[in-house]
Amino acid sequence: MKLGKVEFCHFLQILALFLCLSGMNQAELSRSGSKPYFQSGRTRTKRSWVWNQFFVLEEYMGTDPLYVGKLHSDVDKGDGSIKYILSGEGASSIFIIDENTGDIHATKRLDREEQAYYTLRAQALDRLTNKPVEPESEFVIKIQDINDNEPKFLDGPYTAGVPEMSPVGTSVVQVTATDADDPTYGNSARVVYSILQGQPYFSVEPKTGVIKTALPNMDREAKDQYLLVIQAKDMVGQNGGLSGTTSVTVTLTDVNDNPPRFPRRSYQYNVPESLPVASVVARIKAADADVGPNAEMEYKIVDGDGLGVFKISVDKDTQEGIITIQKELDFEAKTSYTLRIEAANLHVDPRFLSLGPFSDMTTVKIIVEDVDEPPVFTSRLYSMVVSEAAKVGTIIGTVAAHDPDASNSPVRYSIDRNTDLERYFNIDANSGVITTAKSLDRETNAVHNITVLAMESQNPAQIGRGYVAITILDINDNAPEFAMEYETTVCENAQPGQVIQKISAIDKDDPPNGHQFYFSLTAEAANNHNFTLQDNKDNTATVLTRRNGFRRQEQSVFYLPIFIVDSGSPSLSSTNTLTIRVCDCDADGIAQTCNAEAYILPAGLSTGALIAILACVLTLLVLVLLIVTMRRRKKEPLIFDEERDIRENIVRYDDEGGGEEDTEAFDMAALRNLNIIRDTKTRRDVTPEIQFLSRPTFKSIPDNVIFREFIWERLKEADVDPCAPPYDSLQTYAFEGNGSVAESLSSLDSISSNSDQNYDYLSDWGPRFKRLADMYGTGPDCLYS
Q: Do the domain assignments include residue 460?
A: yes
Q: What span, in angstroms and rounded, lies between the C-alpha atoms of 177 and 163?
A: 26
CA angle 269, 273, 279 (to 5 degrees): 70
Nearest to 581 by CA among 553, 559, 548, 554: 559
Do 322 and 402 have their domain in common?
no
pLDDT-based confidence at residue 276 (cuts at 50, 70, 90): very high
How large is the average pLDDT for residues 58-82?
Answer: 81
pLDDT-based confidence at residue 649 (cuts at 50, 70, 90): low
In this structure, of 87-96, 384-393, 489-498, 543-552, the range with the lowest mean pLDDT score is 87-96
Rounded CA Rg of the chain: 66
Q: What span, in angstroms and rounded, lies between the C-alpha atoms of 248 and 195?
A: 10
Which pLDDT belongs to residue 265?
Answer: 95
Look at 548 and 227; give whichever has higher pLDDT. 227
Which of 144, 168, 194 is the last residue in one of the domains? 144
Residues near 546 by Cβ (< 8 Å), separated by ≥ 6? Answer: 496, 497, 528, 529, 530, 531, 532
Which pLDDT belongs to residue 746?
Answer: 52
Which pLDDT belongs to residue 10?
Answer: 47
Do 245 and 284 have their domain in common?
no
Which of 7-21, 75-89, 92-106, 268-282 is most confident?
Answer: 268-282
DSSP 9: H
Classify residue 604 as left (phi > 0), alpha (psi -120 to 50) or beta: left
The residue type found at 690 is: I
CB 401 within 8 A of CB 413: yes
Do 296 and 364 have their domain in common?
yes
Q: What is the mean pLDDT of the chain?
A: 79
Please give the model's pTM, rounded to 2 decimal places.
0.44
Percent helix, percent strand, percent coil in the chain, to nearest 5:
15, 35, 50
Q: Do the domain assignments include residue 727?
A: no
DSSP 768: G
Which pLDDT belongs to residue 583?
Answer: 92
Phi, psi angles (nearest 5°) of residue 758: -90, 120
Q: What span, in angstroms and rounded, lies between the C-alpha atoms of 756 and 753?
A: 9
Do 223 and 300 have their domain in common?
no
Sign, Cα dihedral of 91, 93, 99, 100: negative
How large is the average pLDDT for residues 324-330?
Answer: 92
By the 10 Å C-beta count (0-12 exposed, 13-18 middle, 19+ buried), 365 is classed as: middle
Do 78 and 162 have their domain in common?
no
Phi, psi angles (nearest 5°) of residue 541: -145, 155
Q: What is the DSSP string of 112-160?
A: TTT-SEEEEEEEEEETTT--BSS--EEEEEEEEP-S----B-TT-SEEE
Do 106 and 189 have their domain in common?
no
CB 404 within 8 A of CB 412: no
CB 435 within 8 A of CB 415: no
Which pLDDT belongs to residue 642?
Answer: 47
Which of 369, 392, 409 is the last residue in one of the domains? 369
The pLDDT tens digits for 363-413 are: 999 999 988 888 999 999 999 999 988 999 999 999 999 988 878 889 999
Residue 579's domain comprises: 481-593
Q: Do the domain assignments include residue 224?
A: yes
Nearest to 671 by CA among 730, 736, 717: 730
Look at 340 and 748; give whichever has higher pLDDT. 340
DSSP 237: G
Which of 338, 369, 400 is the last residue in one of the domains? 369
Phi, psi angles (nearest 5°) of residue 409: -70, 145
Q: What span, in angstroms and rounded, lies between the C-alpha atoms of 302 and 304?
A: 7
CB 250 within 8 A of CB 346: no
HSE-CB for 242 with a 13 A CA cutoff: 15
Q: Is the pLDDT of residue 517 over 70?
A: yes
How large is the average pLDDT for residues 205-209?
Answer: 92
Which pLDDT belongs to residue 704?
Answer: 66
CB 390 within 8 A of CB 440: yes
- Cα–Cα distances (Å) from 431 to 2, 25, 413, 434, in that order, read 128, 133, 8, 9
In this structure, of 27-31, 316-320, 672-676, the range with the lowest mean pLDDT score is 27-31
pLDDT-based confidence at residue 312 (cuts at 50, 70, 90): very high
What's the structural domain count of the chain? 5
Q: Do the domain assignments include residue 730?
A: no
The residue type found at 81 is: S
User: Strand 395-398's sheet: what is its strand order?
Assistant: 395-398, 433-436, 425-427
Q: Do the domain assignments include residue 612?
A: no
The residue type found at 643 is: E
User: How far is Cα of residue 327 from the mean position of the Cα atoms in its chain?
Assistant: 40
CB 733 within 8 A of CB 710: yes
The pLDDT tens digits for 9-36 are: 445 555 545 544 444 443 333 333 333 3
Q: Do the domain assignments include residue 196?
A: yes
Do 59 and 137 have their domain in common?
yes
Do 182 and 228 have their domain in common?
yes
CB 327 within 8 A of CB 308: yes
Q: Kindly report the length of the chain.
A: 785
Q: Do the domain assignments include residue 678?
A: no
Do 294 and 242 have their domain in common?
no
Which pLDDT belongs to residue 160?
Answer: 94
Q: Quickly count: other Cβ atoms within 10 Å of residue 159's Cβ.
A: 11
User: Strand 137-144's sheet: what is its strand order?
Assistant: 54-57, 137-144, 117-126, 82-88
Q: State the CATH number of the domain containing residue 364.
A: 2.60.40.60
Phi, psi angles (nearest 5°) of residue 72: -150, 140
Strands 321-325 and 310-314: antiparallel
The pLDDT tens digits for 604-633 are: 556 778 888 999 999 999 999 999 988 887
Do 490 and 581 have their domain in common?
yes
Which pLDDT belongs to residue 228?
Answer: 94
Do 158 and 137 have their domain in common?
no
Helix (H, G, I), strand (E, B) or coil at 635: helix
pLDDT-based confidence at residue 286 (cuts at 50, 70, 90): very high
CB 147 within 8 A of CB 186: yes
Q: Is the pLDDT of residue 690 over 70?
A: no
Q: Do the domain assignments include residue 435?
A: yes
Look at 654 and 682; give whichever has higher pLDDT. 654
Do 248 and 296 have their domain in common?
no
H helix or E strand, kind and range, residue 627: helix 607-635
Q: What span, in angstroms and rounded, lies between the C-alpha atoms of 95 and 140?
A: 12
Nearest to 151 by CA among 186, 176, 173, 174: 176
Which of 42-46, 80-84, 245-249 is most confident?
Answer: 245-249
